[in-house]
Amino acid sequence: MAILIDGKSLSKSFLAKIRQELGEFKANNANFQVGLAIVQVGDRADSNIYIRNKLRTAGDVGINAKHLKFNRSVNESILIDEINKLNSDPKIHGIIVQLPFDSENSIDSDLIVNTVSPNKDVDGLHYANAGKILHGQVDKAFVPCTPKGCLELIKSTGVDLKGKNAVVVGRSKLVGSPMANLLKLNDCTVTICHSKTVDLPTICRSADILVVGIGKPKFVKSDWVKPGAVVVDCGINSVQSGEKNKICGDVDFEDVSKMAKFITPVPGGVGPMTVTMLLQNTLESAKRYYMNYEVDAQWKCG
Amino acid sequence: MAILIDGKSLSKSFLAKIRQELGEFKANNANFQVGLAIVQVGDRADSNIYIRNKLRTAGDVGINAKHLKFNRSVNESILIDEINKLNSDPKIHGIIVQLPFDSENSIDSDLIVNTVSPNKDVDGLHYANAGKILHGQVDKAFVPCTPKGCLELIKSTGVDLKGKNAVVVGRSKLVGSPMANLLKLNDCTVTICHSKTVDLPTICRSADILVVGIGKPKFVKSDWVKPGAVVVDCGINSVQSGEKNKICGDVDFEDVSKMAKFITPVPGGVGPMTVTMLLQNTLESAKRYYMNYEVDAQWKCG
Ligand SMILES: NC(=O)C1=CN([C@@H]2O[C@H](COP(=O)(O)OP(=O)(O)OC[C@H]3O[C@@H](n4cnc5c(N)ncnc54)[C@H](OP(=O)(O)O)[C@@H]3O)[C@@H](O)[C@H]2O)C=CC1
Ligand SMILES: NC(=O)C1=CN([C@@H]2O[C@H](COP(=O)(O)OP(=O)(O)OC[C@H]3O[C@@H](n4cnc5c(N)ncnc54)[C@H](OP(=O)(O)O)[C@@H]3O)[C@@H](O)[C@H]2O)C=CC1
């Protein structure tokens, strides 16, 4: 049976490190603080849950998170003005835009996401951050939280990535495409698959590292998996189980556990790491700010 | 024997189309003109040859190309000022920075390339353009010229890309990485390989489409190639042949021709397409400018 890659526990240890590091910065510099702004339009129930979780976890580690909730009537130009205010606010180091919008007006989400300063884009969605990832300049970029978390989960197994065959199923800009690039930068030979891929099972069977993010419950079966592989499941699917709804991944966990050497569960795998990586990026952003500016001059002015 | 993918002749037909389209724009609008600026630092012999070729070909199709040659003593801040002038010059639609620099001073080439406005970055090297490619927004981006040319060469074979297995050997930001992304966006299942890849021959043999850009003369042999594959060779290597130097690709052309269905020669394959795609991007940039602005108001002011 596969060894569980425990995202909950890994996430906890990352959060503890973030809290500690932040505390040390504060101890050395009375003005040091880390601020995150979450921009929401409308009142989607799922967004409300995600945001509540982000606010709570940020608070737990000592990050000042601020929720800007606009009602459904807000328009694009107001939103742009508000984001520009956050861009120039020295107390804010991370800005995220909760998608999708719940709005009366048509709002171009690409435009809004790209209005966020690339230096505060802790979701890693700005073109400039995506470009730095394509160009291999991860240290200067913000990496999107889900693939960043997946990479940490893979690394936590201790498996050496160099020269390994990695297969990524899914090519979205949020999950699959940046994941493939991260694995490439970690010296894997990477194959990226999608709904037009022919004979997906055979391709998956070539993977030493298999990352799946497609949004299809229990899609990947044990006979798609090479014995000994590391399997990471990004899927979050709600399926009916008796009277209730249950969350499951894109991988058939029970079945694939028989074949893989390491596997992430759903829930408790990639999910918890995603929020943690957001906070990691936010701390990283504050540190870059702190390194690049005259801290005392800047932090006092806010 | 493989069918030759004739880059010279494809390039000629693209250039003819560019010339014609540009002529039509001019006929409809007396003020329409397309401008390209080439920024060079120092006096490298290879750069001089490349630039001469670009200037000549631009002139042939009716693009006004301007060569800004700075001497080796120029510094970063002067270069930034000059690029900013070009960024705001309404007669200039494309700006390219010839790399590598030949300079006395240390100049950060990433900084200089990213000083070029993404709207005029016809080499497709700005982070924002790379990011749009990663995000699948090719229509809003400028795609780097070599992979863009390779894609046209592949498409010229008439092979349907959807669901094909593509293997890209090389992961550079200029060639391999954008190439892999373009093939992904064209519905190939894409594997990207590099110097840490284990058992490259076997992976190459799985390719319906094989693109090689590594800088190793005649590296890829016929037994690495699936019968019937499309093989595109980006390599430009200078090798001694008797008394003289000869140019050859990364693929052993004679040998691989026995196995592939379609193959690009070197020279006469990818090379000619690269300059042509630069001019295609420059015309595209001028068209975007023309679409987005009050042409008469803008073009006269220059
Ligand atoms: N854990 C977390 O915090 C997060 C989890 N997720 C979850 O990850 C999953 C993917 O999310 P996301 O990338 O945003 O989703 P998208 O819908 O944007 O992308 C899905 C991708 O999967 C591919 N795909 C769909 N069906 C198949 C199939 N049958 N075979 C092969 N490929 C297929 C699609 O291919 P094509 O491009 O051809 O359409 C597409 O590239 C979802 O379950 C989502 O809930 C997402 C974000 C965060
Ligand atoms: N036709 C044209 O107009 C152009 C042609 N070129 C030519 O294309 C080729 C590649 O250029 P470029 O991408 O800029 O070069 P780079 O040197 O930047 O990248 C070379 C890539 O090839 C990989 N590589 C090197 N050796 C091997 C090997 N033995 N097996 C597998 N992969 C290997 C490297 O891997 P790793 O990352 O692990 O080091 C790297 O990713 C060159 O010949 C260049 O002259 C380039 C640009 C324009």
Span B153-171, pLDDT tens digits: 999 999 999 999 999 999 9
Cα–chain-centroid distance for residue B163? 25
Contact A55, A65 (CB under 8 A): yes
The alpha carbon torsion through B169, B174, B179, B185 (nearest 10 deg) reads 150
What pLDDT does residue B294 have? Answer: 45
Cβ count near B4 (within 10 Å): 15
- What residues does each domain of chain A span? 29-117, 144-271
Q: State the DSSP code for B251.
A: B
Place of tokens 């284990």: B198
Architecture of domain A144-271: 3-Layer(aba) Sandwich (3.40)
Find the B170 Cα to ligand 2 centroid distance in Å: 5
What pLDDT does residue A293 have? Answer: 60
Q: Please tell me the class of the A29-117 domain.
A: alpha beta
Residue A105 dihedral angles phi and psi, to the nearest 5° = -100, 160
At residue B33, the 3 state secondary structure works out as coil
Closest Cα in chain A, distance from residue B222 (Å): 21
Q: What's at B14, amino acid-wise? A: F
State whether residue A136 sits within 8 Å of chain B by CB: yes
Is the pLDDT at B79 greater than 50? The verdict is yes
**B143-271 — its CATH code?**
3.40.50.720
B177 vs A contacts (CB less than 8 Å) = 134-136, 181, 184
CA gap A38, A49 in Å, rounded? 13
Q: How far is CA A293 from CA A22, A285, A286, A290, in A?
A: 18, 12, 11, 6
Q: What is the pLDDT of residues B5-32, one digit of tens each?
A: 999 999 999 999 999 999 999 998 888 8
Closest protein CA for atom 7 of ligand 1 = A235
A187 vs B contacts (CB less than 8 Å) = 194, 196
Record: contact B189-A197, CB cut-off 8 A: yes
| B183 to chain A: closest CA residue | A192
Q: Dihedral of CA A111/A115/A119/A121: which sign?
A: negative
Is the pLDDT at B300 greater than 60? The verdict is no
State whether residue B110 sits within 8 Å of chain A by CB: yes
Closest Cα in chain A, distance from residue B173 (Å): 5
Q: Which helix (H) or strand (E) holds A48?
A: helix A45-61
CA gap A232, A266 in Å, rounded? 10
DSSP conformation letters of A128-171: HHHHHHHTT-GGGS---HHHHHHHHHHHTTT---TT-EEEEE--
Mean pLDDT split into 10-residue runs, chain A, 302 residues: 97 98 91 95 96 98 98 97 97 97 97 97 98 96 98 98 98 98 98 98 98 98 98 96 93 98 98 97 94 50 30
> In this prediction, what percent of chain B has a pLDDT beyond 90?
92
User: How would you classify the pairing of strands A35-41 and B165-169?
Assistant: unpaired
State whether residue B171 sits within 8 Å of chain A by CB: yes
In sequence order, the β-bridge partners of residue A64 are A35
Exposure of A171 in the CB half-sphere (CA atoms within 13 A): 24
Is the pLDDT at B178 greater than 70? The verdict is yes
Q: State the DSSP code for B2.
A: P
Q: Residue B110: which residues within 8 A CB-CB, separation 6 or more? A: A137
Angle formed at CA A147 by CA B112 and CA A222, multiple of 5 degrees: 145
CA gap A30, A23 in Å, rounded? 10
What pLDDT does residue A241 have? Answer: 87
Record: contact B126-A131, CB cut-off 8 A: yes
What pLDDT does residue B293 have? Answer: 60
Q: What is the pLDDT of residues B181-198, one digit of tens each?
A: 999 999 999 999 999 999
pLDDT, average across residues B102-112: 97
Q: Which two three-digit tokens encode residue A271?
A: 């999910």
Q: Residue B186: which residues within 8 A CB-CB, separation 6 or more? A: B151, B161, B162
Q: What is the pLDDT of residues B246-284, one digit of tens each?
A: 999 999 999 999 999 999 999 999 999 999 999 999 999
Place of tokens 């590594």: B214
Q: State the DSSP code for B208.
A: S
Pocket of ligand 2 (CB under 6 A): B 146, 169-172, 174-176, 193-197, 200, 213-216, 234-237, 250, 270-271, 274
State whether residue B191 sits within 8 Å of chain A by CB: yes
Residues in chain B: 302
- Ligand with minimal distance to A188 CA: 2
Catalytic-residue membership of B54: yes
DSSP conformation letters of B46-62: HHHHHHHHHHHHHHHHT
> In this prediction, what percent of chain B has a pLDDT beyond 70?
97
Q: How far is CA A282 from CA A2, A49, A54, in A?
A: 33, 20, 12
In sequence order, the β-bridge partners of residue B70 are B41
